[in-house]
Amino acid sequence: MHGNENNLLRALRRQDYDIVEPYLNAVQIEAGSTLYRPGDFVQTVYFPCGPAMAAYLVELPEGKGVETALIGREGAMGGIVSQGRLPSYSRCTVQTGGTFMTIRSEVLEELKGRSETVRHLFARYADCLMAQVFQSVACNAAHNIDQRAAKWIVATYERTGSRSLRITQDQLADMLGVGRSYITRVISRFKDDGMVQTGWRQLTVVDLEAMQGMACDCNESVKRHFNEVLAGVYPEP
């Protein structure tokens, strides 16, 4: 049951999950796939399962994208609280491929009308997602690239449960909105300090405790808010 591998769906009461489950479909999506582009009408909601993960990125005029939110099994992408088909503001790209449960946006809206607890659950998740976006804005303004890169690595580990991350330095640079040369120097420092090893399209965390110490506290701030609003939904590795 793939729905049980998404913490947000798993947080539904049994009777509410029974309402939603008949409309869920499991799909396999590869890393690098784009779910939405700016201006696309959002017609499908995606729930990452297990280690699957996606990110919202705001596209800049020079072609780069800056991450605003990383979404794993704690959440969903799409029209969570909006009513009707609305255009996407940002790009949503799959970072770690795998299973995603999908449901049509208009169907989810109809189900929220049938169950107040379903509606409230997704409203609380929307609050958590907004907190994550707010924290991301503050992080990009206040913290250096080493801290932000470490934060992203730790956040990815928490969502995937794996210390081996399938990502290139180019992809990491795009996620953080910086040039490749900056990330190359950051990863070199991490390697010199014994925190990571690198391979072909892969980065492996060797010293997780040191990486957590290098990261800013933005992940922990988001996690605390999740635990206050949706206890048990934020993923534990």
Contact 180, 170 (CB under 8 A): yes
Tell whether the model's pLDDT for residue 63 goes beyond 70: no
Q: pTM of this prediction? A: 0.92
Predicted local distance difference test score (pLDDT) of residue 7? 96
Average pLDDT, the chain: 90
What is the Cα–Cα distance from 139 to 64, expressed in whole angstroms?
18
Mean pLDDT of 101-121: 93
* Predicted confidence band of residue 168 (pLDDT cuts 50, 70, 90): confident
42 to 35, 102, 141: CA distances (angstroms): 9, 12, 29
Predicted local distance difference test score (pLDDT) of residue 81? 54
Tell whether the model's pLDDT for residue 2 goes beyond 80: no
Predicted local distance difference test score (pLDDT) of residue 83? 57
Contact 70, 179 (CB under 8 A): no
What is the Cα–Cα distance from 109 to 132, expressed in whole angstroms?
23
Q: Give me the long-range contacts of 69-72 (CB less than 8 A, separation at least 24).
A: 69/129, 69/132, 69/133, 69/136, 70/95, 70/132, 70/152, 70/155, 70/156, 70/159, 71/129, 72/48, 72/158, 72/159, 72/160, 72/235
* Predicted confidence band of residue 80 (pLDDT cuts 50, 70, 90): low
Predicted local distance difference test score (pLDDT) of residue 200? 86
Which residue carries 């190359």 as its tokens?
184
CATH 2.60.120.10 domain range(s) in the chain: 2-115
Tell me the percentage of the chain whose pLDDT exceeds 90: 70
Which residue carries 């999950």 as its tokens?
17
Return the higher-pLDDT residue of 168 and 186: 186
* Predicted confidence band of residue 61 (pLDDT cuts 50, 70, 90): confident
Q: What is the pLDDT of residues 19-57, one digit of tens each?
A: 999 999 999 999 999 999 988 988 999 999 999 999 998
Per-residue DSSP letter, 60: P
Tell whether the model's pLDDT for residue 197 goes beyond 90: yes
Helical H segments across 105-177, by residue range: 105-114, 116-142, 145-160, 169-176
Predicted local distance difference test score (pLDDT) of residue 82? 56
What is the Cα–Cα distance from 208 to 165, expressed in whole angstroms?
13
Question: In 10 A of CB 112, how many CB atoms?
Answer: 21
What class is the 2-115 domain? mainly beta
Give the count of alpha carbons within 13 A of 63, CB side only: 1
Which residue carries 């998740």 as its tokens?
125
What is the Cα–Cα distance from 219 to 213, expressed in whole angstroms?
12
Predicted local distance difference test score (pLDDT) of residue 24? 97
* Predicted confidence band of residue 164 (pLDDT cuts 50, 70, 90): very high
Q: How far is CA 222 from the centre of its chain?
A: 12
CATH architecture of residue range(s) 142-220: Orthogonal Bundle (1.10)
* Predicted confidence band of residue 88 (pLDDT cuts 50, 70, 90): confident
